Amino acid sequence: MPARLFLSSGNLVADRRFEFARDLRLKGDLVAAADLLVQAVELAPDFASAWFTLGEIRDELGQRAAAITAFRRTLAADPDDRHGASLRLTRLGAEQLAAMPKAYVQALFDQYAPRFEASLVGDLGYRGPALLFKAVLAVRSAARKPAFFKRAIDLGCGTGLAARAFAREVDRFIGIDLSARMIEQARATGLYAELDVADMVQGLRGRPDASADLVLAADAMVYVADLVPVLNEARRVLVAGGLLAFTVETHDGESTGGDGVILGEGLRYAHSAPHVRAAVEAAGLKLSLCENLSARNEDHMPVPGLVAVATKG
C-alpha cells in the first residue's frame, strides 16, 4: 500500500486509531480493525488512508457493498488516487476498466525503489530483460541484421535492468520512468545518457521522429490498459526497420468473457494474445515475434505472459 496520507487536521486520536487498526489487521483481527477504522473516519472524514484500509478489510470480510463505499470515500478524499482505490473498484465490478492512476504508480514505485531489484529478481524470479534480449537477437538473426543499436529508449526503465541486459548492444540509452526514485536508481548505474521522469506516452512524445533504433518495455505494459497510444508513439520515434520489444502478462480470455484486457488480482493489466496482435497492427507495426513466456513468478508459479517484438516497416 502507498505511504499513508497524513491528516491535514492533525487529528492525533484518529491517527492512533488508524495505527492500532493496522496492528490488529496484521494479527488477523479484521473485525476489531474495521471497528477502529470506522472510529478514525468518524473523527477525520477525509482520512484517505483510513478509508482505503477499511475498504480492503471490508473486501476481505466479503462485505462488497461496504468495501465499495469505503473505496469511493477514499477517492473523494484523494482525487489523485495515490492508493489505487479506483483499481479496487474495478476489481469489485463497481467501475469500468480504465487507465491506471499515475499518482498510484508513482507512489508505488517511489516506495519500492530501494528494494526493487532484491524483491523482483530475488523473490519473484524476474527474467523479463533476458527474455527480451533473446527475442531481439532472434528477430535480428532472422532478418540477417546485426543486433547492435545506436540509440535505444527504455520505457519504464526502473533501476536499469533492461539496460544492463542490452548494454553491449546499445551505444546510447535513454530511460523513461514515472517514478523519480526509480530514475535515481537508474542514474546510479551509469548506463543511461539521458533519463526522464515521465509516463511512457509523455516521455516518447518528447522525442523526435525516427530518433531511436530500439524501444524496450520490460514489465512496463502491465500498467497500461490501452496499448495503442504507447505503440503509436514508439512507431513514430523508431527509424525504419527499428524494433519495439515488450513483455505483457496475458490470459486466455475464456474465463473473462473474451475481454482483450483485464485487471488481475495483483492490480496489473493482462492482455490476451489476440489483443496484443490487434494493438500492434493498429499502431502500424509488424509483429515479428510473439511467444508465450513468463517474465516473473507469483506465489512460486510462473505468471502467464507474452514476449513480443514488433518492427517498423
Q: At what angle do helices 273-282 and 228-237 cross, to 10 degrees?
A: 50
What is the predicted pLDDT for the residue at 7? Answer: 47
Residue 259: predicted pLDDT: 77
Answer yes or no: do 183 and 70 share one domain. Answer: no
Domain extent for 38: 12-96
- Same domain for 206 and 61: no
CATH of the domain at 28: 1.25.40.10
pLDDT at 252: 79
pLDDT at 124: 86
Q: Give residue 2's pLDDT band: very low, low, confident or very high (50, 70, 90).
A: very low
Q: What share of the chain has pLDDT > 70, as a percent?
A: 95
Domain-ending residue, one of 28, 62, 96: 96
Q: Is 293 left (phi over 0), alpha (psi -120 to 50) or beta?
A: beta
Is pLDDT of 165 > 80? yes
Residues 54 and 121 in one domain: no
Residue 301 CB coordination number (10 Å)? 8
Predicted confidence at residue 99, as pLDDT, reads 95
Residues 75 and 191 in one domain: no
Q: Is residue 196 part of a domain?
A: yes
With cell 473474451, the residue in question is: 258
Q: If you average pLDDT over residues 145-159, what whole number do you get?
A: 97
Say if residues 41 and 9 touch (Cβ distance below 8 Å).
no
pLDDT tens track for 14-64: 999 999 999 999 999 999 999 999 999 999 999 999 999 999 999 999 999
Tell me the β-bridge partners of 291.
307
The reply to whether 101 falls in a domain is no
Reported confidence tier of residue 254, pLDDT bands at 50, 70, 90 = low
Asked if the model's pLDDT at residue 1 lies above 60, the reply is: no
Percentage of the residues of the chain whose pLDDT score is greater than 90: 88
Task: Classify residue 143: in a domain, yes or no.
Answer: yes
Please check the confidence at residue 10 and state whether its pLDDT lies above 60.
Answer: no
| Residue 223 covered by a domain | yes
Could you report the per-residue pLDDT of 66-117, keeping only the tens digit for each? 999 999 999 999 999 999 999 999 999 999 999 999 999 999 999 988 888 8
Give the mean pLDDT of 162-178: 97
The whole-number pLDDT of residue 176 equals 98
- 43 half-sphere exposure, CB direction, 13 A CA radius: 19
pLDDT at 123 over 70: yes
Say if 159 falls within a structural domain: yes
- The answer on 18 and 129 residing in a single domain is no
Residues 125, 218 share a domain: yes
Query: Domain boundary at 64, 96, 128, which?
Result: 96
- 187-206 pLDDT per residue, tens: 999 999 999 999 999 999 99
Instruction: Report how far apart, in Å, the C-alpha atoms of 234 and of each of 103, 187, 216 are.
Output: 23, 23, 9
Same domain, 131 and 81: no
SS (H, E, C) 133-155: HHHHHHHHHHCCCCCCEEEEEEE
Q: What is the pLDDT of residue 113?
A: 87
12 — pLDDT class (breaks 50, 70, 90): confident
Based on the fold, state whether residues 80 and 17 are members of the same structural domain.
yes
- Of 65, 96, 127, the residue that ends a domain is 96
What is the overall mean pLDDT for the chain?
Answer: 93
Q: What is the DSSP code string of 259-288?
A: -SEEE-TTS-EEE-HHHHHHHHHHTT-EEE
Angle at 167 between CA 161 and CA 168, to 5 degrees: 150
- The mean per-residue pLDDT over the stretch 263-287 comes to 96
Number of domains in the chain: 2
Based on the fold, state whether residues 139 and 275 are members of the same structural domain.
yes
**CATH at 270:** 3.40.50.150
